[in-house]
Amino acid sequence: MNLYLYRRELNATFTIGHIYDGVRRLCDTLEDPVRDLRDLNGDGDFDDPGEGKIYGNTAIPAGKYKIVMSMSSHFKRPMPYLQDVPGFSYVMIHNGLTVEHTKGCILVGINKGHGRLVDSRGWSDIINKMLTEAEAKGEVNYLYICQD
């Protein structure tokens, strides 16, 4: 299964986007601000001075990421984890209401205001079910993150 995240509103404090399943728009997303990331010393972490990452407050780079459902010790249920995100670890698609809940992850729900989501747990459950069912059929899940 392929999901597509189109980042639409990039500002200094948060990023709003939309997730599509290839045919229809599913829901909105909320992420940390997109920053200009540069791996100046080639160590792959973007954490060194001048490389641009602010821990827990930076959106992951645009690109294609494999998604694997795995048990989350924080959420106590299987969650979608993005694999091999350069300079980031433990990146999930999950529920949350504000940018303070992102910590580098992608929140899903309905955007109802300046950087706020509603119905987040419901959309997280829907996406988790879709991805779990696709994995059970032997499909490989991917998220494509695009921005203008």
Burial of 44 (0-12, 13-18, 19+ CB in 10 A): exposed
How far apart CA 4 and CA 99 sit, in angstroms, is 20
* Interacting residues of 70 by C-beta distance below 8 A, sequence separation 6+: 78, 79, 81
Nearest-angstrom CA–CA distance, 121 and 108: 8
Instruction: Express each pLDDT in 52-92 by its tens digit.
Output: 999 999 999 999 999 999 999 999 999 999 999 999 999 99
pLDDT at 148 > cutoff 80: no
Locate 85 and state its tokens.
């995100």
With beta carbons less than 8 A apart as the criterion, state whether 91 and 81 touch. yes
Q: What percent of the chain has pLDDT over 90?
A: 93
